[in-house]
Chain A
Amino acid sequence: MLASLAALRPRQLASQILSFALVLSTAFMLWKGLSLVTNSPSPIVVVLSGSMEPAFQRGDLLFLWNRSPDAKVGEIVVYNVEGKNIPIVHRVVRNHQGGLPYTKLLTKGDNNHADDVELYARGQFYLNREKEVIGSVVGYIPFVGYVTIMLSEHPWLKTVMLGIMGLMVVLQRE
């Protein structure tokens, strides 16, 4: 296979590389575009835990919207506690807003008995909507995200997948 690649004339080889690069670039730019439209750094997230069952299961794909400065009780938000890098998907159970610039929220997983205070930083009893919430769930597709869970739990799969994709695009002609 590599021999046939080497036998290509330079422009043809460049063409094949370009095809592969364009697929990756377009996917990335579409993701960035969606990020900008929803105003969320991560507009699509995969559910990693079972704390929101039976509504969401591990592997479900969630679509976020982050252009609303408020987050009403009952909404499901995705947040990162400042300092920690694990996104958590839970429901807003309390909302306090008023003269101060930031809306304060208390969250809780449907499947948890207690609210999220033990997940926040020490001394922090409420979330800051603007600083810690990266979006509110507006829609969802079940199961589809399970692939990403497998990829993150078995990192060698990522390399295998990229390799197969690369091979397929390069060895084919449009």
Chain B
Amino acid sequence: MTDDNKVPIYSVPDLKNATDDAIAPIFTSLGYTEDHTLTDVRLGLGFFGTAIAAITFAADYKYGFDSTKTLVTVAVALYFLVNTALTVWVWKVQGGVVYSGHNGTKKVKIASKAKKYDPTYHIEVTIQDEKKAPIVRKDDAKFMAWFDEQGHLVRKPLEAFLTQAL
């Protein structure tokens, strides 16, 4: 959702999603380049799974149940393997990361969390300078710090929050 959209301010998931989406453009303006690997792997696995399902559907439609039994068994097993891999990837590796980018020497990863019915935005920032060990910093702020009463996201306060977290 773009900054022009109104976000229902009583819905914590919507507030979180809108905030997550706003981070990338802010960092780009700060001179960072976004790193899409996490998302790309997720999309790749997901569409691979969908392709398996599509092929299975086509084979079953054209050739019927009896002649495609072996193919479908393999396809079903493969599909659930891919889905498990996808779930593991999203859960463990991607784990709440909403932005990943770098700026020449620094690599930054931001993971966000928001608890049900609690309008606080928690972030975990991982900064890694070349050759140095990664530093992890946690910070939080209320959503209302950068949302106005009608639900518009105001960029400056969010930007300020993010830069001081760095």
Contacts and interface: CB of A to CB of B under 8 A. Distances in A.
Contacts of A14: 43
Interface string A16-37: 0010011011101100110110
Nearest to A12: B21
A124 to B, nearest CB: 21
Given A35-B65, A173-B17, A25 B72 contact: no
A101 B47 CA distance: 45
B79 A29 contact: yes
A22 B64 contact: no
B161 to A, nearest CB: 22
Contacts, number: 64
B2 A22 contact: no
- Interface bracket on A: 20 to 34
Interface in B10-59: 13, 17, 21, 24, 36, 39-40, 42-43, 46-47, 49-50, 52-54, 56-57
A15 B45 CA distance: 12
A173 B11 CA distance: 12
Contacts of A35: 65, 72
A173 B17 CA distance: 8
User: Could you tell me the dominant secondary structure of chain B's interface residues?
Assistant: helix
Contact of A29 (B2, B39, B69, B76): B76
B1 interface: yes
A29 B64 contact: no
Interface of A, secondary structure class, is helix
Given A7-B2, A25-B49, A32 B72 contact: yes
A9 B69 CA distance: 41
B8 to A, nearest CB: 12
B65 to A, nearest CB: 4
A21 B50 contact: yes
B2 A32 contact: no
Interface centre among B24, B36, B47, B53 (most CB of A within 10 A): B53
A4 interface: yes
A25 B53 contact: yes
Contact of B53 (A9, A11, A18, A29): A29
A138 B147 CA distance: 57
A8 B66 CA distance: 44
B27 to A, nearest CB: 14
A142 interface: no
B91 interface: no
Contacts of B57: 28
Q: Which A-B residue pairs are the 10 nearest by beta carbons?
A: A25-B53, A41-B65, A18-B46, A21-B50, A7-B2, A33-B76, A29-B79, A173-B17, A25-B50, A11-B39
